[in-house]
Amino acid sequence: MKNILQILTLLLCLGSVPLCRAAAVAKVPAVAPQPMTPELVRKLAEAGDAVAQYNLGYCCYRGEVVPQDYAAAARWFRKSADQGVYQAQFGLALCYREGHGVPRDDAEAARWLRKAADQGDAKAQQLLATCYQSGRGVAQSVAEAAAWFQKAATQGVVRAQYELALCCREGRGVPKDPAAAARWLQQAAEQHDAQAQFLLGVLLEAGEGVSQNFPAAAQCYRRAAAQGLAAAQYNLGVLCAQGRGVPQDFAEAVKWFQLAARQGDAQAQFNLGLCCEKGQGLPVQLADAARWYRLAAEQGDVRAQVNLAACLARGQGVPRDAVEAFKWFNIAAAAGDTNAVAARASLQQLMTAEQIAEGQRRATAFATLTNPPAAPVQ
């Protein structure tokens, strides 16, 4: 805000000097500029100065220099917006969008966003695109969304570049064009957007819209992983385990699986369980393997459900529990896993009718929360 006020002060000082040749200006005695105080900004705003009105609205909205007052912010934004100041039009749109100082009105928010967007405001263009994408305040239109994302993306708005890449990749509002998607992702990735870096890595790994390039994919994943994106950490771990694009290194794979698993990534939790069970990249740790399998299984990972059930059936890393093993085999079988069907049938031969009924009850209770009803026991 101080920068805005300083700029306004400079403009006022420049405006007080008549346009003439430099030599003539040099003879004019220097005059100290009048400090741009909040009181002076308010006086200018009340006199109808559009920039001062915006500045005052901004101060009221943010609670800078003056107490925060959304109603006053909306009032000053409107006065400035009516004079065509696009920053004020955007600010007023935010007031209507969030219900700050005015009743929430998505249609009115979109109307003011359109005014600012038509003047070339990149932030307004990006936000207006999301309105068309979701149908918030306007009729939903993937074509309009893509068009406004493109306008904002061309101005360097990283979120718009990423969203436009998705449009191009999926053919939403524009012809499907994987190569264009890769180009926009590249621009967003260069601005350090983690999601763009990750998705560009996916395209490079698959050869989608670009030449397949495992080292470049690994580099993209690494950049996104370093920013904490769990999906990138998992994918980088897979490349390290497989030795694609990077030297095979199970210890490095485990490091990335751990980071993703701790963020709740089910695939990373499953793979980390495998590493713990097989001793790949770290010593064999059966209890930890069962623990990671359980975390992934509870999120619906079928492979983890089967492996957890096997651990429970054998008493590997956990106390043996046929009923709980039957439950997990049954859940995985309901998801269509043929190995789970066979394992459940074998385990069933060693169980009592009461144990089978309890295992089925537990499976059904779990399934009602996360999955379709468990398959009945034959």
Q: Which residues of 20-51 are buried (b: 16+ CB within 10 A; e: fewer)?
A: eeeeeeeeeeeeeeeebeeebbbebbeeebbb
Q: Rounded to two decimals, what is the model's pTM?
A: 0.84
Q: Which residue has the tokens 């580099």?
A: 219
Q: From CA 13, how far away is CA 34, in angstroms rounded?
A: 8
Per-residue pLDDT tens over the stretch 301-341: 999 999 999 999 999 999 999 999 999 999 999 999 999 99
Q: Which residue has the tokens 């900004």?
A: 41
User: What letter does residue 264 receive in the DSSP assignment?
Assistant: T
pLDDT of 373 > 60? The answer is no
pLDDT of residue 37: 83
With both helix axes pointing from N to C terminus, report the angle between 122-134 and 142-154 in degrees, rounded to the nearest 10: 160
Q: Which residues of 271-282 are buried (b: 16+ CB within 10 A; e: fewer)?
A: bbbbbbbeeebb
Q: From CA 341, how far away is CA 347, in angstroms rounded?
A: 10
Query: How many Cβ atoms from other residues are within 10 Å of residue 1's Cβ?
Result: 11
Q: From CA 202, how far away is CA 199, in angstroms rounded?
A: 5
pLDDT of residue 370: 67
Q: From CA 127, how far away is CA 110, in angstroms rounded?
A: 9
Share of the chain above pLDDT 90, in %: 86
Share of the chain above pLDDT 70, in %: 88
Q: Which domains does the chain have, with CATH numbers?
A: 1-9+34-118 (1.25.40.10)
Q: Alpha-carbon Rg of the chain, whole angstroms?
A: 30
Q: From CA 35, how far away is CA 44, in angstroms rounded?
A: 13
pLDDT of residue 353: 97
Confidence of residue 20 (pLDDT cuts 50, 70, 90): very low
For residue 182, give the nearest of 158, 199, 205 by alpha carbon.
199
pLDDT of 64 > 70? The answer is yes
pLDDT of 12 > 70? The answer is no
Mean pLDDT to the nearest integer, 200-227: 98
User: What letter does residue 236 receive in the DSSP assignment?
Assistant: H
Of 6-15, 159-168, 204-213, which range is least confident?
Answer: 6-15
Distances (CA, A) of 330 to 312, 341, 358, 368, 374: 13, 7, 12, 13, 7
pLDDT of residue 54: 97
Q: From CA 88, how far away is CA 111, in angstroms rounded?
A: 13
For residue 88, give the nearest of 54, 135, 39 by alpha carbon.
54
Q: From CA 360, how far away is CA 180, in angstroms rounded?
A: 51
User: What letter does residue 377 receive in the DSSP assignment?
Assistant: P
**Per-position DSSP letters for 187-218, written without gaps between them:** HHHHTT-HHHHHHHHHHHHHTSSS---HHHHH
Token output for 364: 């059904």
Per-residue pLDDT tens over the stretch 247-265: 999 999 999 999 999 999 9
Mean pLDDT to the nearest integer, 111-116: 98
Geometric angle at alpha carbon 324, from 312 and 294, rounded to 5°:
65
pLDDT of residue 35: 61
pLDDT of residue 372: 52
Confidence of residue 4 (pLDDT cuts 50, 70, 90): very low
Token output for 198: 């990750």
With both helix axes pointing from N to C terminus, report the angle between 158-170 and 142-154 in degrees, rounded to the nearest 10: 140
Token output for 100: 């700050």
Confidence of residue 369 (pLDDT cuts 50, 70, 90): confident
User: What letter does residue 373 receive in the DSSP assignment?
Assistant: P
